[in-house]
Chains A and B, each alone.
Chain A
Protein backbone atom coordinates (compact mmCIF):
# COMPACT_ATOMS: atom_id res chain seq x y z
CA UNK A 1 0.00 0.00 0.00
CA UNK A 2 2.65 2.53 1.08
CA UNK A 3 4.60 1.67 -2.01
CA UNK A 4 1.85 3.33 -3.98
CA UNK A 5 0.86 6.13 -1.65
CA UNK A 6 4.29 7.53 -1.00
CA UNK A 7 5.24 8.04 -4.66
CA UNK A 8 1.80 9.53 -5.22
CA UNK A 9 2.30 12.02 -2.42
CA UNK A 10 5.76 12.76 -3.79
CA UNK A 11 4.22 13.70 -7.13
CA UNK A 12 1.51 15.69 -5.40
CA UNK A 13 4.20 17.70 -3.59
CA UNK A 14 5.79 18.54 -6.92
CA UNK A 15 2.50 19.68 -8.39
CA UNK A 16 2.67 23.31 -7.15
CA UNK A 17 6.00 23.80 -8.90
CA UNK A 18 4.82 22.02 -12.03
CA UNK A 19 1.68 24.17 -12.25
CA UNK A 20 3.70 27.30 -11.54
CA UNK A 21 6.15 26.42 -14.32
CA UNK A 22 3.40 25.64 -16.81
CA UNK A 23 1.54 28.83 -16.07
CA UNK A 24 4.77 30.79 -16.25
CA UNK A 25 5.47 29.28 -19.64
CA UNK A 26 1.94 30.03 -20.84
CA UNK A 27 2.21 33.60 -19.52
CA UNK A 28 -0.74 32.97 -17.24
CA UNK A 29 0.80 34.43 -14.08
CA UNK A 30 -0.51 37.94 -14.62
CA UNK A 31 1.29 41.20 -15.18
CA UNK A 32 4.21 40.49 -12.85
CA UNK A 33 5.02 36.79 -13.17
CA UNK A 34 8.38 37.10 -11.38
CA UNK A 35 6.70 38.40 -8.26
CA UNK A 36 4.30 35.45 -8.40
CA UNK A 37 7.23 33.00 -8.62
CA UNK A 38 8.85 34.38 -5.47
CA UNK A 39 5.63 34.66 -3.52
CA UNK A 40 4.22 31.32 -4.49
CA UNK A 41 7.41 29.36 -3.71
CA UNK A 42 7.67 31.24 -0.39
CA UNK A 43 4.16 30.24 0.53
CA UNK A 44 4.77 26.62 -0.42
CA UNK A 45 7.93 26.57 1.71
CA UNK A 46 5.88 27.65 4.69
CA UNK A 47 3.03 25.26 3.89
CA UNK A 48 5.40 22.28 3.73
CA UNK A 49 7.04 23.35 6.96
CA UNK A 50 3.67 23.42 8.70
CA UNK A 51 2.63 20.15 7.07
CA UNK A 52 5.83 18.57 8.37
CA UNK A 53 5.03 19.83 11.85
CA UNK A 54 1.49 18.49 11.56
CA UNK A 55 2.61 14.87 11.18
CA UNK A 56 3.40 14.15 14.82
CA UNK A 57 0.06 15.46 16.14
CA UNK A 58 -1.65 13.63 13.28
CA UNK A 59 -0.02 10.43 14.37
CA UNK A 60 -1.28 11.00 17.92
CA UNK A 61 -4.78 11.74 16.68
CA UNK A 62 -5.07 8.83 14.29
CA UNK A 63 -2.82 6.33 15.99
CA UNK A 64 -1.58 5.37 12.54
CA UNK A 65 2.14 5.33 11.77
CA UNK A 66 1.96 6.60 8.21
CA UNK A 67 2.13 10.35 9.04
CA UNK A 68 5.59 9.77 10.51
CA UNK A 69 6.64 8.00 7.34
CA UNK A 70 5.69 11.11 5.36
CA UNK A 71 7.41 13.53 7.68
CA UNK A 72 10.90 13.40 6.24
CA UNK A 73 9.67 13.76 2.68
CA UNK A 74 7.53 16.78 3.55
CA UNK A 75 10.43 18.39 5.38
CA UNK A 76 12.70 17.85 2.40
CA UNK A 77 10.09 19.37 0.12
CA UNK A 78 10.06 22.44 2.31
CA UNK A 79 13.81 22.64 1.79
CA UNK A 80 13.35 22.08 -1.93
CA UNK A 81 10.84 24.92 -2.22
CA UNK A 82 12.96 27.30 -0.15
CA UNK A 83 15.86 26.61 -2.52
CA UNK A 84 13.68 27.61 -5.48
CA UNK A 85 12.36 30.57 -3.47
CA UNK A 86 15.87 31.74 -2.63
CA UNK A 87 16.97 31.28 -6.26
CA UNK A 88 14.17 33.53 -7.50
CA UNK A 89 15.37 36.13 -5.01
CA UNK A 90 19.01 35.86 -6.06
CA UNK A 91 18.22 35.92 -9.78
CA UNK A 92 15.04 37.93 -10.22
CA UNK A 93 15.41 40.42 -7.38
CA UNK A 94 19.15 41.03 -7.50
CA UNK A 95 20.61 39.14 -10.43
CA UNK A 96 23.62 38.02 -8.37
CA UNK A 97 24.49 41.52 -7.20
CA UNK A 98 26.21 40.13 -4.09
CA UNK A 99 26.94 43.52 -2.53
CA UNK A 100 23.25 44.36 -2.67
CA UNK A 101 22.27 40.92 -1.44
CA UNK A 102 24.55 41.08 1.59
CA UNK A 103 23.34 44.59 2.37
CA UNK A 104 19.77 43.33 2.09
CA UNK A 105 20.39 40.39 4.46
CA UNK A 106 21.93 42.66 7.08
CA UNK A 107 19.55 45.59 6.76
CA UNK A 108 16.11 44.08 6.17
CA UNK A 109 14.77 42.08 9.10
CA UNK A 110 12.43 40.05 6.89
CA UNK A 111 15.35 38.95 4.72
CA UNK A 112 17.50 38.33 7.81
CA UNK A 113 14.84 36.02 9.26
CA UNK A 114 14.27 34.26 5.93
CA UNK A 115 17.99 33.72 5.45
CA UNK A 116 18.39 32.45 9.00
CA UNK A 117 15.54 30.00 8.46
CA UNK A 118 17.12 28.79 5.22
CA UNK A 119 20.57 28.41 6.80
CA UNK A 120 19.15 26.39 9.69
CA UNK A 121 17.32 24.13 7.26
CA UNK A 122 20.58 23.08 5.59
CA UNK A 123 21.92 20.88 8.44
CA UNK A 124 18.48 19.34 8.83
CA UNK A 125 18.34 18.41 5.17
CA UNK A 126 21.89 17.00 5.28
CA UNK A 127 21.19 14.88 8.35
CA UNK A 128 17.86 13.58 7.11
CA UNK A 129 19.21 10.23 5.90
CA UNK A 130 18.86 7.01 7.88
CA UNK A 131 22.61 6.75 8.11
CA UNK A 132 22.93 10.19 9.65
CA UNK A 133 20.09 9.47 12.00
CA UNK A 134 21.91 6.42 13.30
CA UNK A 135 25.24 8.18 13.47
CA UNK A 136 23.93 11.10 15.47
CA UNK A 137 21.75 9.02 17.76
CA UNK A 138 20.14 11.12 20.44
CA UNK A 139 21.74 14.30 19.15
CA UNK A 140 19.73 13.90 15.95
CA UNK A 141 16.52 14.56 17.84
CA UNK A 142 17.86 17.70 19.52
CA UNK A 143 19.21 18.97 16.23
CA UNK A 144 15.92 18.48 14.45
CA UNK A 145 14.08 20.40 17.14
CA UNK A 146 15.44 23.40 15.21
CA UNK A 147 12.46 22.99 12.91
CA UNK A 148 10.30 24.79 15.48
CA UNK A 149 12.58 27.81 15.39
CA UNK A 150 12.70 27.65 11.59
CA UNK A 151 8.91 27.69 11.36
CA UNK A 152 8.72 30.65 13.76
CA UNK A 153 11.32 32.52 11.67
CA UNK A 154 9.38 31.69 8.51
CA UNK A 155 6.17 33.15 9.92
CA UNK A 156 8.01 36.24 11.20
CA UNK A 157 9.52 36.65 7.73
CA UNK A 158 6.01 36.70 6.25
CA UNK A 159 4.57 39.00 8.95
CA UNK A 160 7.33 41.54 8.37
CA UNK A 161 7.07 41.71 4.60
CA UNK A 162 3.39 42.52 4.09
CA UNK A 163 2.41 46.15 3.67
CA UNK A 164 -0.83 46.46 5.61
CA UNK A 165 -2.98 43.36 5.25
CA UNK A 166 -1.77 40.99 7.97
CA UNK A 167 -4.59 38.51 7.50
CA UNK A 168 -2.68 35.82 5.62
CA UNK A 169 0.48 35.71 7.76
CA UNK A 170 -1.70 35.75 10.87
CA UNK A 171 -3.54 32.66 9.64
CA UNK A 172 -0.18 30.88 9.24
CA UNK A 173 0.89 32.13 12.68
CA UNK A 174 -2.27 30.70 14.25
CA UNK A 175 -1.76 27.32 12.56
CA UNK A 176 1.82 27.26 13.82
CA UNK A 177 0.62 28.15 17.31
CA UNK A 178 -1.82 25.23 17.30
CA UNK A 179 0.90 22.87 16.08
CA UNK A 180 3.31 24.04 18.77
CA UNK A 181 0.61 23.82 21.43
CA UNK A 182 -0.13 20.26 20.36
CA UNK A 183 3.42 19.46 21.41
CA UNK A 184 3.11 21.01 24.82
CA UNK A 185 0.05 19.00 25.71
CA UNK A 186 1.52 15.47 25.76
CA UNK A 187 4.40 16.56 27.98
CA UNK A 188 1.93 18.21 30.33
CA UNK A 189 0.02 14.96 30.45
CA UNK A 190 3.21 13.07 31.14
CA UNK A 191 4.04 15.37 34.03
CA UNK A 192 0.63 14.64 35.45
CA UNK A 193 1.18 10.94 35.31
CA UNK A 194 4.42 11.33 37.27
CA UNK A 195 2.53 13.29 39.87
CA UNK A 196 1.98 11.11 42.98
CA UNK A 197 -1.65 12.02 43.32
Chain B
Protein backbone atom coordinates (compact mmCIF):
# COMPACT_ATOMS: atom_id res chain seq x y z
CA UNK B 1 0.00 0.00 0.00
CA UNK B 2 2.89 2.29 0.77
CA UNK B 3 4.19 1.62 -2.67
CA UNK B 4 1.30 3.54 -4.16
CA UNK B 5 1.93 6.45 -1.83
CA UNK B 6 5.59 6.83 -2.70
CA UNK B 7 4.86 8.89 -5.75
CA UNK B 8 8.37 8.75 -7.15
CA UNK B 9 8.42 4.96 -7.23
CA UNK B 10 6.22 2.82 -9.41
CA UNK B 11 4.96 -0.26 -7.65
CA UNK B 12 6.04 -2.36 -10.61
CA UNK B 13 9.60 -1.26 -9.99
CA UNK B 14 9.80 -2.43 -6.41
CA UNK B 15 11.30 -5.83 -5.94
CA UNK B 16 8.55 -8.13 -4.84
CA UNK B 17 9.34 -9.79 -1.52
CA UNK B 18 8.92 -13.31 -2.85
CA UNK B 19 11.15 -12.56 -5.82
CA UNK B 20 13.62 -11.00 -3.46
CA UNK B 21 13.68 -13.97 -1.14
CA UNK B 22 13.91 -16.34 -4.06
CA UNK B 23 16.93 -14.40 -5.23
CA UNK B 24 18.43 -14.62 -1.75
CA UNK B 25 17.81 -18.33 -1.47
CA UNK B 26 19.23 -18.94 -4.90
CA UNK B 27 22.34 -17.00 -4.12
CA UNK B 28 23.00 -18.72 -0.83
CA UNK B 29 21.96 -22.19 -1.97
CA UNK B 30 25.52 -23.28 -2.59
CA UNK B 31 28.72 -21.92 -1.19
CA UNK B 32 30.20 -21.47 -4.61
CA UNK B 33 27.28 -19.42 -5.75
CA UNK B 34 27.27 -17.47 -2.51
CA UNK B 35 30.89 -16.51 -2.97
CA UNK B 36 30.22 -15.59 -6.56
CA UNK B 37 27.23 -13.56 -5.49
CA UNK B 38 29.12 -11.76 -2.79
CA UNK B 39 31.65 -10.69 -5.38
CA UNK B 40 29.09 -9.44 -7.81
CA UNK B 41 27.65 -6.03 -7.00
CA UNK B 42 23.88 -5.82 -7.06
CA UNK B 43 21.91 -2.79 -8.16
CA UNK B 44 18.69 -1.43 -6.77
CA UNK B 45 15.95 -1.42 -9.39
CA UNK B 46 14.92 2.14 -8.58
CA UNK B 47 17.11 5.20 -8.98
CA UNK B 48 17.99 6.66 -5.62
CA UNK B 49 20.03 9.57 -4.54
CA UNK B 50 20.95 11.97 -7.35
CA UNK B 51 19.11 9.73 -9.82
CA UNK B 52 21.59 6.86 -9.49
CA UNK B 53 20.70 3.31 -8.44
CA UNK B 54 22.31 1.97 -5.28
CA UNK B 55 25.03 -0.59 -5.88
CA UNK B 56 25.83 -3.00 -3.09
CA UNK B 57 27.37 -6.31 -2.06
CA UNK B 58 26.03 -8.84 0.40
CA UNK B 59 27.91 -9.21 3.64
CA UNK B 60 27.10 -12.74 4.71
CA UNK B 61 29.19 -12.35 7.86
CA UNK B 62 26.24 -10.53 9.37
CA UNK B 63 23.52 -12.66 7.81
CA UNK B 64 20.88 -14.47 9.81
CA UNK B 65 18.85 -17.47 8.82
CA UNK B 66 15.74 -16.03 10.45
CA UNK B 67 12.78 -15.17 8.24
CA UNK B 68 12.77 -11.63 6.98
CA UNK B 69 9.91 -9.37 8.01
CA UNK B 70 8.01 -8.42 4.86
CA UNK B 71 8.76 -5.16 3.07
CA UNK B 72 5.14 -4.19 3.54
CA UNK B 73 5.33 -4.53 7.33
CA UNK B 74 8.73 -2.89 7.67
CA UNK B 75 7.48 0.14 5.75
CA UNK B 76 4.00 0.46 7.30
CA UNK B 77 4.74 0.09 11.00
CA UNK B 78 7.16 2.80 12.02
CA UNK B 79 7.95 4.67 15.19
CA UNK B 80 8.93 8.01 13.71
CA UNK B 81 7.38 10.70 15.93
CA UNK B 82 8.37 13.43 13.47
CA UNK B 83 5.54 12.08 11.31
CA UNK B 84 2.99 11.19 13.99
CA UNK B 85 2.96 9.33 17.29
CA UNK B 86 1.24 6.18 16.12
CA UNK B 87 3.01 3.61 13.99
CA UNK B 88 0.72 3.77 10.97
CA UNK B 89 0.79 7.44 9.90
CA UNK B 90 4.53 7.87 9.14
CA UNK B 91 4.13 5.71 6.01
CA UNK B 92 1.87 8.42 4.62
CA UNK B 93 3.13 11.60 6.27
CA UNK B 94 6.81 10.98 5.60
CA UNK B 95 6.25 11.22 1.86
CA UNK B 96 6.24 15.02 2.29
CA UNK B 97 9.92 14.99 3.24
CA UNK B 98 12.50 16.30 0.75
CA UNK B 99 15.52 14.02 1.00
CA UNK B 100 17.43 15.21 -2.05
CA UNK B 101 19.55 17.35 -1.70
CA UNK B 102 20.82 16.23 1.71
CA UNK B 103 23.96 16.86 3.69
CA UNK B 104 25.35 15.99 7.08
CA UNK B 105 27.16 18.49 9.29
CA UNK B 106 30.24 17.08 11.02
CA UNK B 107 31.32 19.11 14.05
CA UNK B 108 32.92 19.10 17.48
CA UNK B 109 36.07 17.23 18.39
CA UNK B 110 37.27 16.32 14.91
CA UNK B 111 40.17 17.34 12.73
CA UNK B 112 37.99 17.54 9.65
CA UNK B 113 34.69 19.22 10.47
CA UNK B 114 32.41 20.37 7.67
CA UNK B 115 29.48 19.47 5.47
CA UNK B 116 29.32 16.02 3.92
CA UNK B 117 27.07 15.82 0.89
CA UNK B 118 24.97 12.74 0.52
CA UNK B 119 26.25 11.99 -2.97
CA UNK B 120 29.84 12.07 -1.70
CA UNK B 121 29.00 9.81 1.24
CA UNK B 122 27.54 7.30 -1.20
CA UNK B 123 30.56 7.57 -3.50
CA UNK B 124 33.11 7.14 -0.73
CA UNK B 125 31.66 4.10 0.99
CA UNK B 126 30.98 0.66 -0.40
CA UNK B 127 27.39 -0.24 0.38
CA UNK B 128 26.72 -3.70 1.76
CA UNK B 129 23.63 -5.61 2.76
CA UNK B 130 23.32 -6.76 6.37
CA UNK B 131 20.41 -8.62 7.85
CA UNK B 132 19.82 -7.49 11.42
CA UNK B 133 17.21 -8.05 14.07
CA UNK B 134 15.53 -4.84 15.27
CA UNK B 135 14.08 -4.89 18.78
CA UNK B 136 11.78 -2.03 19.75
CA UNK B 137 11.45 -0.99 23.39
CA UNK B 138 7.69 -1.60 22.97
CA UNK B 139 8.35 -5.36 22.85
CA UNK B 140 8.07 -6.06 19.14
CA UNK B 141 10.84 -7.00 16.73
CA UNK B 142 11.58 -7.40 13.04
CA UNK B 143 14.31 -8.85 10.82
CA UNK B 144 15.44 -6.28 8.28
CA UNK B 145 17.85 -6.50 5.33
CA UNK B 146 19.55 -3.10 5.57
CA UNK B 147 21.84 -1.51 3.02
CA UNK B 148 24.58 0.58 4.54
CA UNK B 149 28.19 0.90 5.58
CA UNK B 150 30.05 0.80 8.90
CA UNK B 151 29.84 4.09 10.80
CA UNK B 152 33.49 3.48 11.74
CA UNK B 153 34.50 4.22 8.15
CA UNK B 154 32.95 7.66 8.23
CA UNK B 155 34.39 8.35 11.67
CA UNK B 156 37.92 7.47 10.58
CA UNK B 157 37.52 9.76 7.61
CA UNK B 158 36.75 12.83 9.76
CA UNK B 159 39.52 12.04 12.28
CA UNK B 160 38.15 12.53 15.81
CA UNK B 161 40.52 14.13 18.34
CA UNK B 162 41.46 12.43 21.59
CA UNK B 163 38.71 14.42 23.33
CA UNK B 164 36.01 12.72 21.27
CA UNK B 165 34.54 10.31 23.82
CA UNK B 166 30.98 10.35 22.49
CA UNK B 167 29.15 10.83 19.22
CA UNK B 168 25.90 12.76 19.14
CA UNK B 169 23.46 12.50 16.25
CA UNK B 170 20.69 14.87 15.28
CA UNK B 171 17.64 14.38 13.06
CA UNK B 172 16.46 17.04 10.63
CA UNK B 173 14.19 19.69 12.17
CA UNK B 174 11.81 20.90 9.48
CA UNK B 175 8.24 21.26 10.81
CA UNK B 176 7.00 22.41 7.40
CA UNK B 177 7.62 18.87 6.11
CA UNK B 178 7.66 16.92 9.36
CA UNK B 179 4.18 17.58 10.65
CA UNK B 180 4.74 15.77 13.94
CA UNK B 181 7.27 18.44 14.90
CA UNK B 182 4.48 21.00 15.13
CA UNK B 183 3.62 19.58 18.55
CA UNK B 184 6.20 19.40 21.33
CA UNK B 185 5.72 15.70 22.06
CA UNK B 186 9.51 15.42 22.13
CA UNK B 187 12.05 18.22 22.44
CA UNK B 188 12.87 18.66 18.72
CA UNK B 189 15.22 18.03 17.05
CA UNK B 190 15.55 14.36 17.94
CA UNK B 191 18.94 13.63 19.54
CA UNK B 192 20.69 10.33 20.07
CA UNK B 193 24.18 9.37 21.10
CA UNK B 194 26.73 6.58 21.39
CA UNK B 195 30.00 6.12 23.19
CA UNK B 196 32.80 6.35 20.62
CA UNK B 197 33.71 2.67 20.98
CA UNK B 198 30.07 1.71 20.40
CA UNK B 199 30.04 3.93 17.34
CA UNK B 200 33.25 2.29 16.07
CA UNK B 201 31.97 -1.26 16.60
CA UNK B 202 31.77 -3.12 13.28
CA UNK B 203 28.06 -3.88 13.87
CA UNK B 204 27.12 -0.19 13.91
CA UNK B 205 26.13 1.02 10.47
CA UNK B 206 24.78 4.04 8.71
CA UNK B 207 21.97 2.70 6.54
CA UNK B 208 20.86 4.12 3.20
CA UNK B 209 18.38 1.49 2.11
CA UNK B 210 16.55 -1.76 2.81
CA UNK B 211 15.33 -4.74 0.83
CA UNK B 212 17.76 -3.89 -1.94
CA UNK B 213 16.23 -0.48 -2.48
CA UNK B 214 16.77 3.13 -1.46
CA UNK B 215 15.63 3.89 2.09
CA UNK B 216 11.87 4.56 2.26
CA UNK B 217 11.21 7.93 3.85
CA UNK B 218 9.26 6.51 6.79
CA UNK B 219 12.26 4.33 7.67
CA UNK B 220 14.61 7.30 8.02
CA UNK B 221 15.71 8.36 4.53
CA UNK B 222 18.18 9.14 3.30
CA UNK B 223 20.64 8.26 6.06
CA UNK B 224 19.99 6.63 9.43
CA UNK B 225 21.84 4.84 12.17
CA UNK B 226 21.36 1.14 12.87
CA UNK B 227 22.66 -0.20 16.19
CA UNK B 228 21.18 -3.70 16.33
CA UNK B 229 21.98 -4.52 19.96
CA UNK B 230 20.13 -1.48 21.32
CA UNK B 231 16.43 -0.63 21.48
CA UNK B 232 15.12 0.81 18.24
CA UNK B 233 14.92 4.44 19.30
CA UNK B 234 18.74 4.58 19.51
CA UNK B 235 18.86 4.02 15.75
CA UNK B 236 18.18 7.65 14.88
CA UNK B 237 16.66 8.47 11.50
CA UNK B 238 17.18 11.15 8.81
CA UNK B 239 20.47 12.37 10.27
CA UNK B 240 21.69 15.90 9.51
CA UNK B 241 24.33 16.37 12.18
CA UNK B 242 27.04 14.27 13.79
CA UNK B 243 28.86 15.89 16.68
CA UNK B 244 31.89 14.52 18.51
CA UNK B 245 32.03 15.51 22.17
CA UNK B 246 33.63 14.74 25.52
CA UNK B 247 30.25 14.75 27.30
CA UNK B 248 27.61 12.04 27.32
CA UNK B 249 24.80 13.25 25.02
CA UNK B 250 21.29 13.47 26.46
CA UNK B 251 19.00 11.70 24.02
CA UNK B 252 15.44 12.81 23.34
CA UNK B 253 13.73 9.90 25.06
CA UNK B 254 15.98 10.25 28.11
CA UNK B 255 14.77 13.84 28.37
CA UNK B 256 11.16 12.66 28.38
CA UNK B 257 11.62 9.97 31.04
CA UNK B 258 15.18 9.46 32.39
CA UNK B 259 14.06 6.53 34.55
CA UNK B 260 12.64 4.69 31.52
CA UNK B 261 15.14 5.42 28.75
CA UNK B 262 18.80 5.43 29.72
CA UNK B 263 21.81 6.44 27.65
CA UNK B 264 22.87 2.87 26.88
CA UNK B 265 19.49 1.28 26.18
CA UNK B 266 21.03 -2.07 25.37
CA UNK B 267 18.46 -4.77 24.74
CA UNK B 268 18.36 -6.62 28.04
CA UNK B 269 15.70 -9.15 29.09
CA UNK B 270 16.79 -8.81 32.73
CA UNK B 271 16.25 -5.07 33.02
CA UNK B 272 12.57 -4.15 32.89
CA UNK B 273 11.20 -0.97 31.50
CA UNK B 274 9.54 0.52 34.62
CA UNK B 275 6.14 -0.01 33.02
CA UNK B 276 6.62 -3.38 31.36
CA UNK B 277 8.84 -6.42 31.38
CA UNK B 278 11.43 -6.73 28.60
CA UNK B 279 11.87 -10.49 28.92
CA UNK B 280 9.78 -11.29 25.84
CA UNK B 281 9.00 -9.78 22.48
CA UNK B 282 6.62 -10.35 19.60
CA UNK B 283 8.37 -10.91 16.30
CA UNK B 284 6.07 -9.13 13.88
CA UNK B 285 3.91 -11.79 12.27
CA UNK B 286 4.17 -14.29 15.14
CA UNK B 287 1.27 -15.29 17.38
CA UNK B 288 3.31 -16.20 20.43
CA UNK B 289 5.98 -14.05 21.98
CA UNK B 290 9.56 -15.24 22.08
CA UNK B 291 12.33 -14.73 24.62
CA UNK B 292 14.33 -11.56 24.21
CA UNK B 293 18.06 -12.22 24.00
CA UNK B 294 20.75 -10.20 25.81
CA UNK B 295 22.06 -7.54 23.42
CA UNK B 296 19.38 -8.70 21.01
CA UNK B 297 21.45 -11.80 20.23
CA UNK B 298 24.65 -9.87 19.50
CA UNK B 299 26.35 -10.46 22.86
CA UNK B 300 29.29 -12.19 21.24
CA UNK B 301 30.14 -9.08 19.24
CA UNK B 302 29.37 -6.37 21.79
CA UNK B 303 29.22 -7.66 25.38
CA UNK B 304 32.92 -6.84 25.84
CA UNK B 305 32.13 -3.15 25.36
CA UNK B 306 30.42 -3.21 28.76
CA UNK B 307 32.88 -5.33 30.66
CA UNK B 308 32.69 -4.62 34.38
CA UNK B 309 29.69 -2.31 34.06
CA UNK B 310 26.53 -2.86 36.09
CA UNK B 311 23.98 -3.05 33.29
CA UNK B 312 21.11 -2.58 35.74
CA UNK B 313 22.58 0.78 36.66
CA UNK B 314 23.68 1.74 33.15
CA UNK B 315 20.42 0.77 31.42
Contacts and interface: CB of A to CB of B under 8 A. Distances in A.
Contacts of A100: 277, 279
B277 A103 contact: yes
Interface in A80-111: 92-93, 95, 100, 103-104, 107-110
A158 to B, nearest CB: 13
A104 to B, nearest CB: 7
A103 B276 CA distance: 10
A30 interface: yes
A160 interface: yes
Contacts of B76: 30-31
Interface stretch (B119-127, B220-228, B281-289, B298-306): B281-289
A22 interface: no
Contacts of B279: 100
A108 B276 contact: yes
Interface residues of A, number: 20
Contact of B186 (A31, A107, A109, A164): A164
Interface of A: 30-32, 34-35, 92-93, 95, 100, 103-104, 107-110, 160-161, 163-165
A31 B85 contact: no
A interface SS class: helix
Contact of A30 (B85, B88, B276): B88
Given A30-B77, A32-B140, A32-B284, A160 B88 contact: no
Interface string B83-111: 00101100000000000000000000000
A164 B275 contact: no
A110 B140 contact: no
A40 B220 CA distance: 28
A36 to B, nearest CB: 9
Interface string B262-279: 000000000010011101
A104 B277 contact: yes
A165 B275 contact: no
Interface string B125-136: 000000000000
Q: Which of B138, B253, B257, B277 has the most CB of A within 10 A?
A: B277
A95 B288 CA distance: 7
A164 B256 contact: yes
A32 B289 CA distance: 12
Contact of A165 (B185, B253, B289): B185
B81 interface: yes
B275 A32 contact: no
B23 interface: no
A31 B284 contact: yes
Contacts of A104: 276-277
A31 B77 contact: yes
